[in-house]
């Protein structure tokens, strides 16, 4: 790791970084990461001692090697506990170190060098002490992709659900509008081994159905989501698109507040069509601590001169 040293060598004293000079030296430093991953070969985000192939496990392994800290010291937390096979472009996580860094691009490059190619840290930045990847979140955006053609595009097979039935996108759009607003989503949640009960009342800000050629992209933004809620909503919209049920089935299922009612019409949509696109926070929480280094978005490699002879 590259730690800040002080005095005489041109680097800054760590007591002058990330704090007001009139306050005491902070005991720890918090760092925010934006992570993208192809979830195909992983058992979701959440750490599982019995299943090391989770995103959190692999990110923690990379962090322990670069920081020389134990996972208990790092206390890595993710914003969303994405399920097995679910992808992400904008997963957010934070971790803690007892020391500061003078070069974030160095540790950033080291992390991506240790991680498998289907997990990338897109951004690494200093975070305010009060920032929490999970509990500070004010909303999330998910996409569910459906490839709607007779023959599946092999380049889309890992990231889009294949529906050979001709879907009525207009009917799906009408059904999606019923989800917008504040509702009790008990009918759309699967049972989980959650560490705490979740409030079933959630606010959906928008639910768009966008046609991109053969691809139908469901874009849903909300203040929060229950376990498998997005996949269950997508599954009912697929049935509406097939014209197996009318769009106004949505308010009826919502009003029932019974997961068994949804099960009469559909099962959860497969996980590989779902991607966590971004996690939202209040802007003031994303400001860097005073005096801190700027965020690292990676760095380009450069060649000072051509290594090959000209002929």
pLDDT digits (tens, 9 = 90+) for 148-190: 999 999 999 999 999 999 999 999 999 999 999 999 999 999 9
Angle, helices 169-177/229-241, rounded to nearest 10 degrees? 140
SS3 state of residue 284 = helix
- Whether 198 shows a pLDDT value over 90: the answer reads no
Spell out the domains of the chain, with CATH numbers in brackets: 29-135 (3.30.70.580), 138-277 (3.30.70.660)
Indicate the pLDDT class of residue 19, thresholds 50, 70 and 90: very low
- Whether 144 shows a pLDDT value over 70: the answer reads yes
- pLDDT of 3 reads 46
- Whether 304 shows a pLDDT value over 80: the answer reads no
Residue 99 CB neighbours (<10 A): 13
Q: Is 118 a catalytic residue?
A: no
- Whether 195 shows a pLDDT value over 70: the answer reads no
Rounded to whole angstroms, how far apart are CA atoms 90 and 71?
Answer: 22
DSSP letter, residue 156: T
- pLDDT of 51 reads 77
Please state the rounded mean pLDDT for residues 29-44.
Answer: 97
**Annotation-wise, does 142 bind a ligand?**
yes
- Whether 115 shows a pLDDT value over 50: the answer reads yes
Out of 13, 83, 118, 195, which one is annotated catalytic? 83
- Whether 211 shows a pLDDT value over 80: the answer reads yes
Angstrom distances, CA of residue 239 to CA of 221, 234, 294: 21, 9, 47
Which one has a higher pLDDT value, 116 or 303? 116
What pTM was computed for the model? 0.87
* H helix intervals, 29-182: 55-67, 71-74, 104-114, 169-177
Residues facing residue 33 across a β-bridge: 93, 124
Q: What is the tens place of the pLDDT at every residue in 266-298?
A: 999 999 999 999 999 999 999 988 877 789 888
Q: What is the tens place of the pLDDT at every residue in 37-65?
A: 999 999 999 998 877 799 999 999 999 99
Which one has a higher pLDDT value, 22 or 308? 308
Rounded to whole angstroms, how far apart are CA atoms 293 and 125?
Answer: 8
């Amino acid at each position: 790791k590259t730690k800040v040293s002080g005095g005489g060598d041109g680097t800054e004293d760590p007591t002058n970084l990330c704090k007001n000079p009139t306050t005491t030296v902070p005991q720890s430093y918090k760092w925010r990461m934006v992570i993208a991953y192809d979830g195909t070969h992983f058992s979701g985000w959440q750490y599982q001692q019995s299943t090391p192939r989770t995103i959190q496990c692999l990110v923690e392994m990379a962090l322990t090697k670069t920081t020389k800290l134990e996972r208990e010291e790092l206390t890595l937390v993710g914003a969303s506990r994405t399920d097995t096979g679910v992808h992400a472009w904008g997963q957010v996580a934070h971790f803690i170190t007892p020391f500061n860094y003078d070069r974030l691009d160095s540790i950033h490059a080291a992390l991506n060098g240790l991680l498998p190619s289907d997990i990338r840290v897109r951004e690494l930045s200093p975070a305010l002490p009060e920032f929490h990847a999970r509990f500070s979140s004010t909303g999330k955006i998910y996409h569910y992709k459906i490839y709607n053609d007779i023959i599946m595009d092999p380049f889309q097979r890992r990231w889009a659900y294949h529906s050979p039935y001709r879907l009525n996108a207009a009917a799906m759009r009408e059904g999606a509008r019923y989800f917008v607003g504040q509702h009790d989503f008990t009918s759309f949640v699967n049972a989980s081994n959650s560490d705490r009960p979740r409030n079933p009342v959630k606010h959906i800000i928008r639910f768009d159905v966008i046609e991109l050629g053969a691809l139908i992209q469901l874009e849903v933004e909300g203040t929060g989501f229950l376990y498998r809620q997005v996949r269950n909503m997508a599954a009912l919209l697929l049935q509406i698109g097939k014209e197996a049920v009318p769009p106004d089935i949505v308010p009826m299922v919502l009003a029932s507040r019974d997961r068994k009612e949804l099960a009469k019409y559909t099962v959860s949509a497969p996980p590989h069509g779902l991607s966590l696109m971004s996690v939202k926070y209040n802007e003031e929480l994303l400001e860097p601590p005073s005096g801190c280094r700027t965020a690292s978005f990676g760095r380009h490699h450069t060649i000072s001169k051509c290594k090959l002879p000209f002929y």
